[in-house]
Chains A and B, each alone.
Chain A
């Protein structure tokens, strides 16, 4: 299946992917309104790691044998059998953080939703053909590919 891969030789840590991700997962769908007005402020599901001179942006890889799904204690994380995507049902999440512990990529984070801490991660932008982070990246440092 297609997932997002970083290409660290091209990443300049401009953080536009993080902004695009926040905006995509906001109500306003506008970066400034999202950033200034939305409470709680949406959190980016990709994270730019920057250690001069290198940088890379990393988010959920939707693993074939996903360790978050294996660690989840109540089925909050499941594989969508049709699309292959690893889905996270925040209504169900208990905030035990077993998934954060298990994820080998370190890409599941904590967010507050309905005043409750729950897990959060990349959903591959189900309403788009190409995820927002990939679409916005000026350097093709994020690519949406099927590498088997």
Chain B
């Protein structure tokens, strides 16, 4: 049998996990990874820390420098795929080069949403999702005499960018359309606390409004005009209202797209032999049991692992993605797992809250089962809740213990403990 040809488009979290898992099964096949970016896989989620100089190149690379060599991967970096031709089993690059495959994985990630805002064309306007974005923004800021930035969007990317800019001495204002920041990750109370902490550390945050136009004088950004009529002076605008699946190259391929690329529980698309994973894929949500795009690292890597294994001939089933995020701003941490936002009693939801000094914890139960955890300033053993949610365990009998600081395996049923602790992980 001839050697199988694997092609992976996109060289980030999902791509790396696919490579590692293909190689586990198939020592002979040819693996090619194609990426529009010129870099070895890097920590996309750390670009704000790179921008402000907290970390250097060595902390940015996701794998060691011999990673591709060791896994015998051919890299086509700095090359964009312009077209996928499933019938011919090949992809076409911008150079015109054609690359054949037996198995293809699309992990092209997300791209920033850039709505048409008057005055947004021209210098002084930035997005913030790639390493190059961070380098370009850093260099721009260094050239400003008294840099002042407006960040449009108070989601995770916007706030991390804002923190990075603040560390660089920039006067930063974040403008968020919703009534509070981090609307997708946190409930209102926690978000407002995070917001206060950000403000205490010198960020200005305006909520309930957005930027209507960018004001330019002789082409140079001098400020923004908000929907509420207010004007803010600035020389730099960062657009970070969100990302969407990067599906442009699929046009005409026949691969089905809803919000993201639709995949089944083996991460395969509607076209046999073609898989998708990561921020571009739309797969089962563990809690809601319907397909969704959940753009977070643990889901991208797990999907990459499942896709890679199945591409190499192993049978692996995706258990569904559980939304979760941990982040820290100015040294304070918050973690959110599962559903912490929808808590309608009429729908069977129940909320348990524990506030103690700086620590704020919240558990969300649905029909007695744990479905969400939120914790601010307390991280110890927080992952155990991940197991409890995954086990769809009824916790209505241990509600009083659930949020205590010494909550642990001994509060959980013996059978669960035996299953977890006496077998290999």
Contacts and interface: CB of A to CB of B under 8 A. Distances in A.
Nearest to B20: A79
Contacts of B386: 67, 101-104
Interface string B374-415: 000001111110110010000000000000001011110000
Nearest to A71: B298
Interface of A: 3, 5-6, 8, 47, 49-51, 54-56, 58, 61-67, 69-75, 78, 92, 94-98, 100-110, 147-148
A55 B380 CA distance: 18
Contact of B382 (A69, A78, A101, A147): A101
Nearest to A147: B424
A102 B46 contact: no
A134 B327 CA distance: 35
The 9 closest A-B pairs by CB, nearest first: A106-B381, A61-B425, A74-B43, A63-B425, A103-B383, A106-B384, A70-B301, A104-B387, A73-B45
Given A54-B410, A73-B43, A75-B63, A104 B301 contact: no
A70 B298 contact: yes
Interface in B8-57: 17, 43-46, 49, 55
A58 B409 contact: yes
Contacts of A50: 410
The winner among B17, B326, B417 for most chain A CB atoms within 10 A is: B326
Contact of A106 (B60, B337, B383): B383
How many residues of B sit at the interface, in one of the four size bands? Answer: 35 or more
B198 interface: no
Contacts of B297: 70-73, 98
A105 B408 CA distance: 9
B421 interface: yes
A75 to B, nearest CB: 4
Interface of B: 17, 43-46, 49, 55, 58-63, 297-298, 301-302, 305, 324-328, 333, 335, 337, 379-384, 386-387, 390, 406, 408-411, 417, 420-425
Given A96-B327, A101-B325, A102-B386, 7 more contacts: A51-B411, A70-B305, A94-B43, A96-B328, A101-B337, A105-B425, A106-B408
A81 to B, nearest CB: 8
A98 B298 contact: yes
B197 to A, nearest CB: 16
Nearest to A86: B425
Nearest to A110: B379
B190 to A, nearest CB: 15
Given A51-B410, A96-B328, A104-B383, A74 B302 contact: no
Nearest to B383: A103
